[in-house]
Structures are given as structure tokens and as C-alpha cells.
């Protein structure tokens, strides 16, 4: 039996094809695993993974046992289910599949809602594991959207929505308001919601309206918290922050002003939890943010004397923030860009955001089934007015081409998708890639055999 894997498929159903009934049925088949563990539920377009990692690290620093569920993964599927920031062992992952699989079969065959998807299986495995280990909290990142995402069966103690921008427009909608409404679907009656800084007033208006409709308190981070960057270098950033309950002198090892916004959002989550009885102190917030580790985001490397930056930015907004950070942290003569985008993401929009760097471009194709074909990708780069200096159907070869092209004072930048970031990291560090030999071709609904 295979499971529909819409993350890796080139053919996604319309959003109307998603619903929560099957996930609720699967959760009940496994003993109501979506209930019982206090939950921080995080949606958003950009930064929700980093924010989830920061919130987890803060809770862990306070002595709590915390489950963390995120997607996608960089190198191994076990990274999606973590205790603290540590992925579960492969043996634990395999045992969870065995535990959940009979319920998956029952729901698929007799539930009346069709077959369970790969993401629903992963969500159930995370819920089951966190309940079995008696986690004090679970931090759950939404996969796609919010309203109809399989994680939205939880009853959170606090919800959070990170920065909103246009992404997955074919599924979630083609305006900020439509996308914000989908994300706002995680707001529950009477449950406080933390809203990260938003570039668009339309998104804030949607969140206010939905929160008011549900009687939910809303914390708008850009209004209620203030922060000031003190210093920054390639090892991290130091900043002061005035929160709702306390003042902090903070340090994070992640680069870019957008990570300060994510950190402020994590602090707002922590302070909201503290207001509801969690034992989160100033020191646990300071320690937790200082200890956070989240690779693939402005990750700085060096090989053969060339500086390399790896970042999983995959939409025009995140690319613009990446370009801001590159200009702030690095001095360089030229940028050599290693670029690949996945289908469904705006390659022209990302290339327009990268154009101010005037990069020379090596176009690559990642292993992800939705990675764009080389021919159209090369044309997109040329149409953006950028020079193509190489191309390869593997990230590893393309990265080597970029290093060969780059001068001693040039910067090699690898971006466009998280899958590209993962494969660049694998090439630099000799990480054994996790290949899915049972993956049926992308034209067959992206079904993955487990």
C-alpha cells in the first residue's frame, strides 16, 4: 500500500480535497492522540519552523519535556519528530510506523474518507509519540495553510501565526487576504493567538477579525514588543527586547533581521504561556534562544577558500530578506548563485528578488520530484536578465561548478528551495542522503511506499 505524498508530488489536489475528518478518525482510532498534551500550534508562510524551534528550546531550557513536529526535513524523515531539538532514533521511527499502520489501514479501507496521506501518517506518529513519552508540551508546525491542515485537530493552549506572504497560491489563494484566512483557521475559541510582525496590513486585519469572532486574545508582536539589535557577526546576533512581562538581553546563533522577528514571536509565545501558568522565567528565555539550532537558514560554510551561504528560502518574500542579510553580513566582489526552485513556487519572483545582487547563476535540479526542469529554469534565469554560467542535473555538481567559477572574494549562494539547501549541505559535509527507492514517479500522484 502507498500513501499520497503531496509534498513530493507534481500533482496536488485542489484545496477542497483536504479535510480534517480522516485525521480525526485516525487520531481516535489510536486512542485520541490529538488530545492530552498541551500544544503550541504555529502556522505562517515564513519563519514558522525557526519560531517553533525557538519556542521548543525555551521550553526545554525551563526543564520541560517538549515534543517538536516540523516539516519538511533536511536530510532524514526522522528530523520531523523531535524531543527537544533532537530527532527521534530511526528505531523509534520504525516502531511508530508499526504502531500506527493498522489504524492507517482501517481508516483507509473502512473510514469512508479515502486513504490516509503521508503527512497525516507523520502527524499521527508525532502525536502518538509525544503522548506516549508524556511530553509536558508539544510544539506543532502546520504543514500547509492551517484551516484544513492535518495538524489542526489539536486544541492548543496558544496559537501563533508567523509572517504571511504569497506562497502556494494555487492551493491557498492568490491574495494576502485569502492566504491569511487559511492561516487564521488555527485560531480557536478563547485560545490566545500570537501574531508575528506582518508586512501587509491586510493580513493583520484578517487575524484581528477572526480572533474577535472567536473571543481569542491577540498579541500583535510588532505593537506589543520592542527590540533593538546591539551587534551581529557570522556567529550570531545580540539584541535587547522589551516584552509584555519582562526585559531581556538576548543572543541567537541565527542570522538576519527576520530571525529577530522570529525570536520576538517566540518570546511572545513564552510570555503568553507564562501568563497561563507555565514556569518560564527570564533566564529560561535567554538560555533557550541562545541554545537554538536550526540549520539551512543563512548557514555559512567554506570550501576551497570560497565562502558559501546555504539558505532554504523558497518564495519572493524570504528571498528579499535573504538578500538583505547577505548585504549586511558579507563583503564580496560578486555572487555566484546555485539556484533551483520547486514547482508551485515563484521562480521568476525569486529571481527578481535576487537580481539586485547581479549574480552569475548555476542552474541545478535537486532530487525532489517537484524540482523544476533545467531547460525552463535556464530560460527563467535568462528572462530575469541574469547570466547563466553553468547548469547541472545534480546540486553536488552544480555547487562544484560554482566554486570553480567563483573568485577568492566572491560569495557562493545556494538557495531557492529547502531541498537544494539540504543537498548542498550533504555535499559539503559528506552527509549520506536519504533516498526513497520506493517512490513512484511524480506523474503518479507522488505516492510513497512506507
Which tens digits make up the pLDDT trace of 154-204?
A: 999 999 999 998 754 444 556 899 999 999 999 999 999 999 999 899 999
- Residue among 334, 336, 339, 364 nearest 350 (CA): 339
31 has a pLDDT exceeding 90: yes
pTM, two decimal places: 0.89
* pLDDT given for residue 15 in this prediction: 43
Lowest mean pLDDT among 46-50, 146-150, 429-433: 429-433
What are 151's three cell numbers? 495538524
- 9 — pLDDT class (breaks 50, 70, 90): very low
What are 122's three cell numbers? 507523520
* pLDDT tens-digit series, residues 417-431: 999 999 999 999 998
- 4 — pLDDT class (breaks 50, 70, 90): low
* pLDDT tens-digit series, residues 47-57: 999 999 999 99
Architecture of domain 2-291: 3-Layer(aba) Sandwich (3.40)
Q: Kindly report the number of other CB atoms within 10 A of residue 170's CB atom.
A: 11
Q: Kindly report the number of other CB atoms within 10 A of residue 305's CB atom.
A: 9
Average pLDDT over every residue of 276-301: 95
Average pLDDT over every residue of 101-120: 94
More confident residue, 157 or 113: 157
- What residues does 315 pair with on adjacent strands? none
Average pLDDT over every residue of 347-374: 92
- 144 — pLDDT class (breaks 50, 70, 90): confident
* pLDDT given for residue 130 in this prediction: 98
Share of the chain above pLDDT 90, in %: 80
* pLDDT given for residue 172 in this prediction: 55
User: What distance in Å separates the CA atoms of residue 359 and residue 361, rounded to the nearest whole number?
Assistant: 6
Give 186: exposed, middle or buried? Use CB within 10 Å, 0-12, 13-18, 19+: buried
Share of the chain above pLDDT 70, in %: 90
CATH topology of domain 299-429: 3.90.190
Within the chain, which residue ranges are assigned CATH 3.40.1190.10?
2-291
* pLDDT tens-digit series, residues 213-257: 999 999 999 999 999 999 999 999 999 999 999 999 999 999 999
H/E segment holding residue 400: helix 395-405
337 has a pLDDT exceeding 70: yes
Within the chain, which residue ranges are assigned CATH 3.90.190.20?
299-429
Amino acid at each position: 500500500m502507498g500513501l499520497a505524498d503531496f509534498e513530493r508530488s507534481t500533482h496536488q489536489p485542489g484545496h477542497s480535497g483536504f479535510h480534517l475528518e480522516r485525521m480525526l478518525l485516525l487520531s481516535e482510532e489510536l486512542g485520541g492522540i490529538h488530545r492530552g498534551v498541551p500544544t503550541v500550534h504555529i502556522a505562517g508562510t515564513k519563519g514558522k519552523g525557526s519560531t517553533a524551534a525557538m519556542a521548543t528550546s525555551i521550553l526545554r531550557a525551563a526543564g520541560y519535556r517538549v515534543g517538536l513536529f516540523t516539516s519538511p526535513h533536511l536530510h532524514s524523515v526522522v528530523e520531523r519528530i523531535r524531543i527537544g531539538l533532537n530527532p527521534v532514533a530511526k528505531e523509534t521511527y520504525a516502531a511508530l510506523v508499526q504502531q500506527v499502520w493498522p489504524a492507517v489501514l482501517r481508516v483507509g479501507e473502512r473510514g469512508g474518507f479515502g486513504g490516509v496521506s503521508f503527512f497525516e501518517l507523520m502527524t499521527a506518529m508525532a502525536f502518538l509519540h509525544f503522548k506516549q513519552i508524556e511530553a509536558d508540551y508539544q510544539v506543532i508546525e502546520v504543514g500547509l495553510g492551517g484551516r484544513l491542515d492535518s495538524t489542526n485537530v489539536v486544541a492548543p493552549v496558544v496559537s501563533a501565526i508567523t509572517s504571511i506572504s504569497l506562497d502556494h497560491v494555487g492551493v491557498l489563494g492568490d491574495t494576502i487576504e485569502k492566504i491569511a484566512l487559511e492561516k487564521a483557521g488555527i485560531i480557536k475559541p478563547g485560545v490566545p493567538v500570537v501574531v508575528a510582525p506582518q508586512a501587509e496590513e491586510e493580513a493583520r486585519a484578517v487575524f484581528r477579525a477572526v480572533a474577535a469572532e472567536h473571543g481569542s486574545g491577540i498579541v500583535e508582536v510588532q505593537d506589543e514588543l520592542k527590540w533593538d539589535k546591539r551587534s551581529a557577526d557570522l556567529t550570531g546576533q545580540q539584541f535587547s527586547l522589551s516584552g509584555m512581562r519582562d526585559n531581556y538581553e538576548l543572543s541567537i546563533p541565527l542570522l538576519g533581521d527576520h530571525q529577530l522577528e522570529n525570536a520576538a514571536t517566540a518570546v511572545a509565545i513564552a510570555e503568553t504561556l507564562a501568563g497561563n501558568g507555565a514556569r518560564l522565567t527570564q533566564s529560561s528565555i535567554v538560555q533557550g534562544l541562545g541554545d537554538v539550532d536550526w540549520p539551512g537558514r543563512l548557514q555559512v560554510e567554506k570550501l576551497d577558500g570560497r565562502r558559501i551561504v546555504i539558505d532554504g528560502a523558497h518564495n519572493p518574500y524570504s528571498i528579499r530578506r535573504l538578500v538583505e542579510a547577505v548585504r549586511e553580513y558579507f563583503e564580496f566582489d560578486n555572487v555566484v548563485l546555485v539556484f533551483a526552485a520547486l514547482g508551485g513556487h515563484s521562480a521568476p519572483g525569486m529571481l527578481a528578488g535576487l537580481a539586485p545582487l547581479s549574480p552569475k547563476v548555476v542552474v541545478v535540479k535537486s532530487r525532489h520530484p517537484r524540482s523544476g526542469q533545467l531547460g525552463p529554469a535556464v530560460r527563467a534565469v535568462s528572462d530575469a536578465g541574469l547570466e547563466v554560467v553553468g547548469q547541472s542535473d545534480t546540486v553536488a555538481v552544480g555547487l562544484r561548478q560554482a566554486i570553480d567559477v567563483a573568485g577568492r572574494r566572491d560569495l557562493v549562494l545556494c538557495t531557492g528551495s529547502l531541498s537544494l539547501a539540504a543537498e548542498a549541505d550533504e555535499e559539503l559535509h559528506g552527509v549520506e542522503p536519504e533516498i526513497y527507492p520506493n517512490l513512484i514517479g511524480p506523474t503518479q500522484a507522488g505516492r510513497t511506499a512506507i
